[in-house]
Amino acid sequence: MTDPLDATDRRILHELCANARIPVTELARKVGLSKTPVAARIRAMEEMGLITGYRAMLSPIQLGLIHVTYVEVKLSDTRQKALEQFNAAVREIPEVEECYMIAGGFDYLLKVRSHDIAEYRKIMGEKLSALPHVAATSSYVAMEAVVEQNSPTL
């Protein structure tokens, strides 16, 4: 598929990523169009599935979730049914902020947010270790977020 976005669409998306609550009138002024074509472009990008929704972004720091741990997970079984069981179960753990299937020396990489190391230890012992087909885990505590983005760059 070729890139369906022109420079104006990219500017619109950039502004929406910075502030999804921006009034269409102000957005139109920033991208150099009138309100009607900007609204039409946004609607078209929503209909094509490029814009999938709008949400409030919460500060994990303000919520006291300052402890970030990355967890490598190795499974004892990587057949499709086992992967589906793991995927479904890990989605039910609210402290897991991100989960990726990995090609390499382990099967999954999880980003886990907690208040502190004691809470993380409880999450590991009661939730992560109990996930289906977990054979081994390795935890890596983040000391500082150097770059942390919430949306892709355009």
Q: What is the pLDDT of residues 112-130, one digit of tens each?
A: 999 999 999 999 999 999 9
Residue 128 has what DSSP assignment?
I
Residues 81 and 135 in one domain: yes
Quote the domain boundaries for residue 75. Answer: 60-141
Least confident of 9-23, 48-62, 128-142: 48-62
Partners of 137 in the β-ladder: 73
In a domain, 2, yes or no: no
Residues 108 and 69 in one domain: yes
CA distance 40 to 22: 15
Residues 75 and 133 in one domain: yes
Query: Which tokens hold the place of 66?
Result: 């300052």
pLDDT for 52 equals 94
The CATH number linked to 71 is 3.30.70.920
CA distance 17 to 21: 10
Question: What predicted TM-score, i.e. pTM, was given to this entire model?
Answer: 0.81
